[in-house]
């Protein structure tokens, strides 16, 4: 079998060229991750999920074809995710069909079976786009995991978004007699052991052990029909992304201590992910004075009519959004217009999602507004006259034929005219005021919005516009090598700015030098890690005790990774299949380990082990000192 044949069999033959251009053969195919698929051009989340499942099946076929003796002697091709249990920080969602017992009393069993089946399929179809995992069907209940078998940095948020979508989707279902259905959902987050296979045949499932699933199930029992209830552990990870109602501390059956519960009222309209996460006071920016000065220099050029684009690149947690916020604060007193586009991992396939979201927020459009009110608000927001209002109104989903008449354009013409209208609006705005155009998280940008940015560059050249783009290193778009583009890569912080950041977070209270050394060492110069580890110490109320214990033992080994970082770090590891097992083995040795000791306990040969370590180094999860066999790693 060849790759094109395999893709055609899956109904995804359109990607054959992408695989060929990246030299992916059947041997390489088994190593592909979700990130790899996205890099080679599989932008659809649904298609990537379908491919990953097929790759997993292919792996199982290969493993079944290897004789047991040969399999035992050979080094593992990749770690077996399904058959080995792991300690994971997982968000568990439990969805229940309301009133199923009453339905069973008055419905024919075959009709009830169809209702339950439709409900289960509805939940599964809703979970899949958010990359959740349906672990178990329990009659009218569905148990789902977010964070296993694949972690994401925002699993708690994914679970809540899924739950709200489940409640809405199930409400659209009806029984054969026309009765509407409703679901209620409970969500909790915590440390579990997950992945053990229990049962046999069709009853086989991936079991999860820990308190978290029980809490999720009990919280579901508190919810009203159509309602989502989350635990305090989940709420802490949501920032200000959702409107929540405090239900107080609840005594849950089988749970010894009272549990704080919160009802999710809906998604909150926030300008950016950074603002949503920074629900408390934002600490000051440190260690980025030169970078800030460079961006402000480009801003001065833009104000003088020499439009600019600044691309700020760096890994998650390095401080891109904090730097962007500092630019906004630095020019706050100047007369200017600020445009904010926030890209989202949930809408990478939704054309112009950040554009539409910005227009709705800036116009103050609410779901309660009538269509005419929405059009009035949009007209008041746009500055380029009414000639393009119909195109932009249609783009954001408003009915405008009565007011503006039919567009009478083909889909291709309408798309092109809409992009031109957006560019014209940006330039018209810059004639009235200088424009700071911030585009956050461009690594999640949809292709149409990216095309709009590319189209605008020629017009921006002679306009008072600074486009400030933030992105992770995976974003490799070059904006056509346009001369107005400046690239800025953020590096990790040194000891002095880390010390300043810790001082800012502790309110100026000095920490013992040894404890500060440990924070510097454990956080590897990542501002987000510094913040979260320091905040965890402060919030625990054990800062003084921790300092004393460190003075006595010289260790901070009892400190857990902050929950806010656990998913992010695990997501990075999960993207590194099949070398994650090497990182786990090394972690058992300690924070620092020698190559010779790792080799002694690893099933890999020299070539395989060194290749795995090189991938971990490239991902900046470990750092090397020296070369094998004398190498030491941190």
Give one DSSP letter per residue of 99-149, joined into a string: THHHHHHHS-HHHHHHHHHHHHHHHHHHHGGGT-EEEEEETTEEEEEESSS
Least confident range from 22-31, 256-265, 329-338: namely 22-31
Residue range 86-268 forms a domain whose CATH class is: alpha beta
Q: List, as one string, the DSSP characters of 29-96.
A: HTT--HHHHHHTT---HHHHHHHHHHHHHHHHHHHHHS-HHHHHHSPPSS--TTTS-EEEEEEEEEEE
Domain ranges for the chain: 3-73, 86-268, 282-489, 495-550, 576-633
Residues 6 or more apart in contact with residue 395 via CB below 8 angstroms: 352, 355, 356, 418
Q: What share of the chain is helix, strand, coil (3-state, %, to 5)?
A: 50, 15, 35
Length of the chain equals 634
Assign 563 a pLDDT band (cuts: 50, 70, 90): low
Alpha helices (H) along 433-492: 447-460
Confirm if 517 and 509 have CB atoms less than 8 A apart.
no
Say yes or no to pLDDT of 13 above 90: no
Average pLDDT over residues 5-25: 80
Average pLDDT over residues 265-288: 67
Higher pLDDT, 477 or 14: 477
Output the pLDDT for position 287: 84
Q: List, as one string, the DSSP characters of 240-274.
A: TSEEEEEEEEE--TT-SS-EEEEEEEEE---S-HH
Say yes or no to pLDDT of 75 above 50: no
Please give the helix or strand (H or E) that residue 437 lies within, else none.
Answer: strand 434-440
For residue 127, give the nearest of 175, 87, 183, 89 by alpha carbon.
Answer: 183
Assign 82 a pLDDT band (cuts: 50, 70, 90): very low
Higher pLDDT, 514 or 312: 312
Average pLDDT over residues 236-251: 89
CATH classification for the domain delimited by 282-489, as one of 3.40.50.300, 3.40.50.720, 3.40.140.10, 3.30.1130.10: 3.40.50.300
Please give the helix or strand (H or E) that residue 12 lies within, else none.
Answer: none
- Look-up: residue for tokens 């919810």? 223
Supply 565's token pair: 């970082």
Supply 369's token pair: 């507004």
Task: Calculate the alpha carbon distances from 183 to 92, 167, 168, 353, 607 in Å.
Answer: 16, 6, 9, 29, 53
485-489 and 624-625 strand pairing: unpaired
Higher pLDDT, 57 or 468: 468
Assign 274 a pLDDT band (cuts: 50, 70, 90): low
Neighbours of 588 (CB within 10 A): 9
Output the pLDDT for position 385: 67
Residues 406-449 have pLDDT tens digits of 888 898 999 999 999 999 999 999 999 999 999 999 999 999 99
Least confident range from 220-229, 272-281, 479-488: namely 272-281
Instruction: Please report, in angstroms and rounded to a whole number, the separation of the first and last CA atoms in the chain.
Output: 43
Phi, psi of 391 (to 5 degrees): -65, -45
Assign 303 a pLDDT band (cuts: 50, 70, 90): very high
308-313 and 485-489 strand pairing: parallel
Output the pLDDT for position 373: 93
CATH topology of domain 576-633: Arc Repressor Mutant, subunit A (1.10.10)
Say yes or no to pLDDT of 68 above 60: no
Q: What is the mean pLDDT of the chain?
A: 84
Supply 12's token pair: 């995804």
Please give the CATH superfamily to which domain 3-73 belongs.
Transcription Factor, Ets-1 (1.10.150.50)
Say yes or no to pLDDT of 557 above 90: no
Average pLDDT over residues 104-120: 87
Output the pLDDT for position 77: 33
Supply 178's token pair: 């026309």
Is residue 578 reached through a cis peptide bond, with omega within 30 degrees of 0 on the bond before it? yes
SS3 174: strand
Say yes or no to pLDDT of 261 above 90: yes
Assign 549 a pLDDT band (cuts: 50, 70, 90): low
69/104 Cα distance (integer angstroms): 52
**If you average pLDDT over each of 50-54, 426-430, 629-633, which comes out highest?**
426-430
Supply 544's token pair: 């003084």
236/189 Cα distance (integer angstroms): 10
Say yes or no to pLDDT of 199 above 80: no
Average pLDDT over residues 207-232: 91
Phi-psi region at 187: left, alpha or beta (left = phi > 0; alpha = psi -120 to 50): beta
Say yes or no to pLDDT of 453 above 70: yes
In percent, the amount of the chain with pLDDT more than 90 equals 41
Say yes or no to pLDDT of 558 above 80: no
Average pLDDT over residues 339-362: 92
576/583 Cα distance (integer angstroms): 10
Higher pLDDT, 203 or 122: 122
Average pLDDT over residues 560-579: 72
630/48 Cα distance (integer angstroms): 40
Confirm if 161 and 346 have CB atoms less than 8 A apart.
yes
pTM of the model: 0.71
Average pLDDT over residues 173-194: 91
Higher pLDDT, 468 or 277: 468
In percent, the amount of the chain with pLDDT more than 70 equals 87
Assign 203 a pLDDT band (cuts: 50, 70, 90): very low
């Amino acid at each position: 079998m060849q790759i094109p044949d395999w893709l055609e069999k899956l109904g995804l033959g359109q990607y054959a060229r992408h695989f060929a251009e990246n030299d992916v053969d059947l041997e390489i195919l088994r190593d592909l991750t979700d990130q790899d698929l996205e890099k080679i051009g599989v932008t659809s989340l649904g298609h990537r999920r379908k491919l990953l499942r097929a790759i997993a099946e292919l792996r199982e076929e290969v493993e079944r074809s290897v004789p047991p003796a040969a399999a035992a002697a050979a080094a593992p091709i990749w770690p077996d995710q399904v058959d080995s249990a792991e300690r994971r920080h997982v968000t568990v969602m439990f969805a229940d069909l309301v009133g199923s017992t009453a339905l069973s009393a008055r419905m024919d069993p075959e009709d009830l079976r169809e209702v339950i089946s439709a409900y289960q399929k509805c939940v599964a179809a809703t979970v899949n786009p958010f990359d959740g995992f349906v672990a178990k069907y329990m009659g009218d209940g569905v148990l789902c995991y977010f964070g296993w078998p694949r972690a994401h940095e925002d699993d708690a948020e994914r679970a809540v978004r899924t739950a709200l979508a489940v409640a809405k989707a199930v409400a659209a279902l009806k029984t054969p007699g026309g009765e509407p259905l409703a679901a209620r959902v409970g969500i909790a987050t915590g440390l579990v052991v997950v992945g053990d296979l229990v049962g046999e045949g069709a009853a086989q499932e991936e079991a999860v052990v820990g308190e978290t699933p029980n809490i999720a199930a009990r919280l579901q029992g508190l919810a009203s029909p159509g309602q989502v209830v989350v635990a305090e552990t989940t709420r802490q990870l949501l920032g200000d992304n959702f409107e929540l109602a405090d239900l107080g501390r609840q005594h849950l059956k089988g749970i010894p201590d009272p549990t704080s519960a919160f009802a999710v009222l809906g998604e909150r309209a926030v300008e950016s992910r950074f603002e949503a996460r920074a629900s408390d006071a934002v600490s000051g920016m440190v260690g980025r004075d030169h970078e800030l000065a460079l961006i402000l220099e480009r801003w001065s050029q833009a104000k003088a009519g020499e439009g600019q684009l600044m691309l700020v690149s760096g890994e998650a947690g390095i401080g891109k959004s904090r730097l962007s916020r500092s630019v906004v604060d630095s020019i706050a007193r100047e007369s200017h217009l600020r445009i904010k586009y926030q890209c989202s991992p949930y809408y990478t396939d939704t054309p112009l999602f950040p554009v539409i979201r910005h227009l709705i927020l800036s116009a103050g459009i609410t779901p309660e507004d009538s269509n005419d009110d929405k059009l009035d608000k949009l007209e008041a927001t746009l500055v380029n006259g009414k000639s393009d209002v119909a195109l932009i109104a249609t783009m954001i989903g408003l009915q405008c034929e009565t007011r503006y008449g039919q567009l009478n354009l083909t889909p291709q013409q309408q798309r092109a005219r809409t992009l031109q209208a957006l560019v014209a609006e940006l330039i018209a705005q810059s004639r009235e005021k200088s424009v700071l155009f911030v585009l956050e998280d461009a690594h999640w940008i949809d292709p149409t919005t990216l095309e709009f940015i590319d189209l605008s560059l020629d017009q921006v050249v002679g306009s008072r516009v600074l486009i400030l783009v933030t992105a992770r290193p995976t974003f490799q778009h070059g904006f056509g090598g346009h001369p107005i583009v400046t690239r800025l890569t953020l590096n990790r912080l040194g000891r002095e700015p880390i010390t300043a950041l810790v001082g800012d977070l502790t309110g100026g209270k000095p920490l013992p030098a040894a404890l500060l050394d440990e924070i510097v060492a454990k956080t590897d110069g990542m501002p987000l890690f510094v913040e979260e580890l320091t905040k965890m110490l402060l919030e625990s109320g054990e800062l003084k005790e921790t300092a004393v214990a460190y003075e006595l033992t010289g260790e901070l080994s009892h400190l857990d990774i902050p929950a806010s970082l656990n998913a992010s770090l695990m997501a990075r590891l999960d993207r590194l299949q099949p070398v994650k097992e090497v990182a786990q083995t090394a972690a058992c040795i300690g924070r620092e380990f020698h190559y010779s000791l790792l080799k002694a306990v690893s099933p890999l040969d020299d070539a395989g082990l060194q290749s795995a370590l090189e991938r971990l180094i490239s991902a900046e999860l470990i750092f090397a000192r020296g070369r094998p066999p004398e190498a030491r790693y941190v």
